[in-house]
Structure 1
Amino acid sequence: MEEDRLAASYSDANAFFRLFRHLGWGDLVNLGYYTLPTLPALIGGLAFFQRRLETHSLALLGARPGHRVLDACCGRGHTTARLGAAGCEAVGVDISDRQIAQARARYAHAANTDFAVADVTRLPRRADGDAVAETPFDRVHCLEAAFHLSPEGRRALHTEAYRVLRPGGRLVLVDFTWATADPEEIRRLDPRGLARASWQIEGFEPLERHLTNAARAGFLVRRSLDWTRPVVERSLRLGTVLTHLAGSRTGRGLLCLARPGLREFTAADWSHTVDVLAAHRSVGRSVRYSALVLDKPGGAGTGTP
């Protein structure tokens, strides 16, 4: 099933993600937001940069205490719990029951926070005994998750978000986008499918198609921001360093010295990881990173954060 496939891709069964878990991934699974002054924080791992990306994304949302907020494709629930702690009525949904189980275990006592197994392209009124789309949302947030959907699923995400938002509500969609109008180019750049298999994706949506889908759903495009440099380009540079280190015995020794848990990696794990990192470098040159602020007309207006 789709949800099982996605959950497995983010587990230790995937050596690529196991590498990044040892490098600091955990509560969040995103590339992170890197600026030159903050790069020394790499010594402490990647979680700092992942939280920075989350912070930048939530700033665009402009959610206030009392707002009802849908955290679409919430994963392990960190962002949902953060919204709840800020005074929002936060509802995190994910198609993976395993991800939702982790979210509930991690944030069982988080204030103003509920989780439910649900498909963001067909949101139910209620799920797992809790209200989901029974009443409208003031905000919908989707951080680095829509790329897992098919092109049809991404269109449905826009339509469904528009449906469940109140007039004057806002969708913030932060995601990978493809640099050209032909996303099928990824097959040439990733001929063995290594990058696609790591993330369990078909490909990335061209930005213009995202914007067209949003407009057709009824949204006004308030802002379209390009975060390619701080997210993709600097992640790729980090990946280049990792490729060189993982590709030599000396480099692997240095990585294991910095992160002792990596000693569990077998020779096959390292070889596969090097191949996957190389595939990401090839694909990454045609990947962009976009932050879209989409407003539903009507109501008292949302304003621009």
Structure 2
Amino acid sequence: MGDSGNLTSAYSDDSVLFRVLRHLGWDSLADIGYFTLPTLPFAVLAGPVFFHRRLARRSLALLDARPGQLVLDAACGRGDTTARLGAAGCRALGVDIQPSQIDQARRRFGSRPGVRFAVADATALPRRAADIPLADGSFDRVHCLEAAFHFGHEGRRSFLSESFRLLGPGGRLVLVDVTSRTDQPIGTLDPNGLVRDTWRFEDIEPYERYPLMASAAGFTTHRILDWTTPVLHRAAQLSALFAGASSTQVGRKALCVRWPGLRGLDAREWDEVIDIVRAHQAIGRVTRYTAYVFAK
């Protein structure tokens, strides 16, 4: 995986952005969210959690996983999607390279039936994880929601190869990721590194290249869904509202009334959050959000 050592410190609650997200209600899910136009006012009032869960549901639905099937939830983070698979009757193994995330996943969901967690690199899997053999052809489904952008180009190639190896005939990989519209280096879109440093990544895979890489690994492409508008564009609208409100004293006070935890931010931290949000908006205008369904 690309710079995996650096990634072990990602998603830290010490980060000012993640502190803000936590106060807004971000908990066991760390995705952008899936927003429809009629529900945007609800997102403004209630926060993003409902929409994070909606995106996770849509991603998991593409798996078409059935009770009893063995599913790898790659880069599972704090374990919410793994737990959902277990609740649906699957035997779900969630792996993540960050020990702190797996610790939280185990605390939250480790006692649930059918759910196991292990610290492991999804791009270079061990022979066993949580006492489950990761043998060739032993899994029915592989799921990776909004994490492969961390892997780096070679890491994504390795992940696709590992997924193909693990899956049996008729198996399916669902890979949902931020993708780029061109081969333009991400550094030119984020010259100050605000987005890349926040999320610990260096590049984004071009939209058209993923199916080519999957084909080289042995997969056929079953479906490609473009979720750019309901995910990136609508999130950008909401973040613009937040940044606008955060730019004035009156707006900050209003936000603190709705989310009291934000009162702990000082003026420098408010300004830092605004800069990070605007950097995300700049990248969001030239990237896509894509759900791929690959079949073996």
- TM-score norm. by structure 1 comes to 0.93
Question: What is the correspondence of 1:1-305 to structure 2 with a 5 Å cutoff?
Answer: 2=3, 5-42=6-43, 43-128=45-130, 130-134=131-135, 136-180=138-182, 182-184=183-185, 186-296=186-296
Q: After TM superposition, give the deviation of residue 286 of structure 1 in Å.
A: 0.7
Are the counterparts in 2 of residues 125 and 134 from structure 1 also a CA contact under 8 Å? yes
73-82 vs 42-51, which moves further:
42-51
SS in structure 2 at match of 1:207: coil
RMSD: 1.4
Aligned-partner Cα distance in 2 for 1:290–1:189:
19
Aligned-partner Cα distance in 2 for 1:113–1:2:
28
SS in structure 1 at match of 2:134: coil
Aligned-partner Cα distance in 1 for 2:50–2:123:
31
Aligned-partner Cα distance in 2 for 1:7–1:251:
35
Structure 1 counterpart of 2:155, which letter? G
Q: After TM superposition, give the deviation of residue 40 of structure 1 in Å.
A: 3.6
SS in structure 2 at match of 1:174: strand
Aligned-partner Cα distance in 2 for 1:143–1:133:
20
Structure 2 counterpart of 1:244, which letter? G
The size of the alignment, in residue pairs, is 293
Q: After TM superposition, give the deviation of residue 7 of structure 1 in Å.
A: 4.3
* Amino-acid identity (%): 52
Q: After TM superposition, give the deviation of residue 108 of structure 1 in Å.
A: 2.4
SS in structure 1 at match of 2:104: helix
Are the counterparts in 1 of residues 146 and 177 from structure 2 also a CA contact under 8 Å? yes
Aligned-partner Cα distance in 2 for 1:127–1:291:
27
**Structure 2 unpaired stretches of 5+:** none
Aligned-partner Cα distance in 1 for 2:10–2:188:
22
Pick closer, same or farther for the CA change 1:9–1:64 going to 2, 3 Å: same
Cα deviation 1:243-276 (Å, max 9, x = unaligned): 1111111111111111000011111111111111
Aligned-partner Cα distance in 1 for 2:293–2:188:
32
Q: After TM superposition, give the deviation of residue 44 of structure 1 in Å.
A: 2.0
Correspondence for 1:303: none
Structure 1 stretches of 4+ with a deviation exceeding 3 A read 1-5
Cα deviation 1:180-201 (Å, max 9, x = unaligned): 1x140x2222111111111111
Q: After TM superposition, give the deviation of residue 4 of structure 1 in Å.
A: 5.7
Q: After TM superposition, give the deviation of residue 59 of structure 1 in Å.
A: 0.9
Q: After TM superposition, give the deviation of residue 39 of structure 1 in Å.
A: 2.4
Cα deviation 1:143-163 (Å, max 9, x = unaligned): 000011111001111111000
Aligned-partner Cα distance in 1 for 2:119–2:32:
24
- TM-score norm. by structure 2 comes to 0.96
Q: After TM superposition, give the deviation of residue 38 of structure 1 in Å.
A: 2.4
Aligned-partner Cα distance in 2 for 1:242–1:36:
17
Structure 2 counterpart of 1:273, which letter? V
Structure 2 counterpart of 1:229, which letter? T
Are the counterparts in 2 of residues 174 and 291 from structure 1 also a CA contact under 8 Å? yes
Correspondence for 1:301: none
Aligned-partner Cα distance in 2 for 1:225–1:19:
30
Aligned-partner Cα distance in 2 for 1:178–1:254:
35
